[in-house]
Amino acid sequence: MKNFYNDKEHIVSDAIDGLIAASGGRVRRFNPDSYARVVVRSDWDKSNVAIISGGGSGHEPAHAGLVGHGLLTAAVCGGVYASPSVDAVLSAILEVTGPAGCLLIIKNYTGDRLNFGLAAEKAKSMGHKVEMVIVADDIAIDGAPQPRGIAGTVFVHKVAGFLSQSGASLVDVLAAASAVNDNLRSLGVARDTCTVPGTEKQSRMGDCDVEIGLGIHGEPGVDVESFGSCSALMQDCSKRLLQKIDTSKRHIALFNNLGGLNGLECAVLFKEFMSTEIASTLDFTIGPVAIMTALDMPGFSITMLPLEDSYRAALLASIECSVWPQHEAVTAVESIDPPDLHTLNHEASEDITVRSVLTAAIGACTAMEDDLNKLDSKVGDGDTGTTFAAAARTVQSGLDRLPLANGADLLAVLGDLKGKSMGGSSGVLFAIMFENASEAYRNNPHWGTALSAGLDAMQKYGGAKVGDRTLIDALKPALDVLVADKSLTEAARQARAGADGTAAMLAAGAGRSSYLEARSLEGVADPGAEGVARIIEAIAKSQSA
């Protein structure tokens, strides 16, 4: 199974039913058992110019999703990437066209031109006023006699739909839609082609290739290039588009997700697009947004349109259709400094014993980095050693500036450093522990009692307890020893016993190991517990020397 659908014969009809169900009554469809898959506005009264578009399905939300107030009056849905029949188009024209006439907006593909064209001629012979705009915005193939229609088509929808809703005549709607069409310039890029439900995907690109200029049905582009960086890719796109636009004019740009890119990719690509030379021609942008898609295609298209007076107001006007994305004015990217979290006012001070304890802990953390990573790779994501070592290096770099003679301030500073340098859940847990230990030390300057209070807070927020196969299995028994004023040597012995005991635990109650089965845990000590045991052993050794 590669797609969620009932069967490929009914996928388009089922999808239309889903659209109707989600529309809140704004649209309706022709009978599913009829010859025509047509979606029409529920509130249409034929008093204004009807705006009809359509073509092959698989580009959702275009075209059926764009039926609504201020956009399309009707959409004629063919099969996946297949033009609808002449009869289907004609039935849509007859359903929504009144005395004001009808404008058909199609993309420049042979099937659409023929089927919509013949339907238009039939409707004219019946006495209807019908005009057509054939969108050809793709600039990929230089000098192409029949440029393809791609995402820029939605700008034609927007202008025509708004003018229709405003009561403009067919002549005026056609003139404005044609002006948009004449000025559109679009370019598509993808790192793989699209899919067809029920058919195995046939990729023609290598893992590191991107194709420039492919169409919305997966048609080959003009160039295949090796991907270097998002910056280089967007510079290439900008250069190609700049050759086709009038840079003396102000533009709006549509960044269209072809359907297969994730949000992070789109945001990075858009950031790089707005760093290119072409951004200096922009007043407004739309997107990143998936509005003219191709099934599962991991790519995007960029459409540039100059803001001509003949259609500017219609293009930028607000409409009620929930699918149509809001345009945004281009503004300078601003950043602000975060609040200063370094609110601790402490003075560096010296304590030889405390320094030796920290030095021993730092040495243990850096020395065991590789060992802990290897151990963690068996039960986690292989970074426990790196996490401990990163925190140790941060403390080492600031060791001479620490308040070593002031236990409460030192614990607070260590908590702050742990939270910033360790990362992940471990950093937060240790930060919680040291922050609470700091407060406890102010009330009772006893290291074992303060650290034990910090551990209580760690357990409260982390949710783990002894026996859950975490670092607590080594830390808790060691701190219990210190609370009882016993030796560091005994604390190290208890920490080692706790860490070794985790190897026999066949279930974890917290952390990444909790997602593993017993066979993956058996005989493998918890990396966090092992790390804690080695740190306490190193401290004990340093104090007994």
Question: How far apart are the C-alpha atoms of 177 and 188, rounded to whole Å?
Answer: 22
CB 151 within 8 A of CB 301: yes
Decide if 217 is catalytic.
yes
Domain 178-195+205-335 matching CATH 3.30.450.30: the answer reads no
Tens-digit pLDDT profile for residues 140-175: 988 777 899 999 999 999 999 999 999 999 999 999
Q: Can you identify the CATH homologous superfamily of domain 1-135?
A: Dihydroxyacetone kinase; domain 1 (3.40.50.10440)
Domain boundaries, the chain: 1-135, 178-195+205-335, 352-544
Tokens 């709006």, residue located: 252
For residue 96 the two structure tokens come to 């929504």
Mean pLDDT of the chain: 91
pLDDT digits (tens, 9 = 90+) for 69-85: 999 999 999 999 999 99
Q: Per residue in 342-394, pLDDT tens?
A: 555 688 999 999 999 999 999 999 999 999 999 988 867 778 899 899 999 99
Residue ranges in 422-526 assigned as alpha helix (H): 424-443, 447-462, 472-483, 488-501, 518-521
Q: 281: which 2 tokens?
A: 């021609």
Is the domain defined by 352-544 classed in CATH 1.20.120.450? no
Answer yes or no: are the C-beta atoms of 277 and 323 closer than 8 Å.
no
Q: Residue 296: left (phi > 0), alpha (psi -120 to 50), or beta?
A: left
Q: Are 159 and 314 in contact (CB under 8 A)?
A: yes
Please report the sign of the dihedral spanned by the C-alpha atoms of residue 360, residue 365, residue 371, residue 375: positive
Whether the CB-CB separation of 62 and 42 falls below 8 Å is answered with no
Tell me which range, 7-16, 246-255, 414-423, is most confidently predicted by mean pLDDT: 246-255
In angstroms, the CA 389 to CA 369 distance is: 6
Choice among 59, 128, 157, 217 that is catalytic:
217
Q: How confident is the model at residue 521 (pLDDT cuts 50, 70, 90)?
A: low
Instruction: Tell me the whole-structure pTM to 2 decimals.
Output: 0.74
Q: How do residues 303-346 score in pLDDT, each as one tens digit?
A: 999 999 999 999 999 988 878 999 999 998 888 887 765 555 68
| Residue type (1 letter), 172 | D
Residues with Cβ within 8 Å of residue 169, at least 6 apart in sequence: 49, 100
What pLDDT was estimated at residue 506?
62
Mean pLDDT of 274-285: 97
pLDDT in tens, 442-465: 999 999 999 999 999 999 998 899
First to last CA, the chain: 66
- The two beta strands, 282-289 and 328-329, are antiparallel
CA angle 122, 127, 130 (to 5 degrees): 65
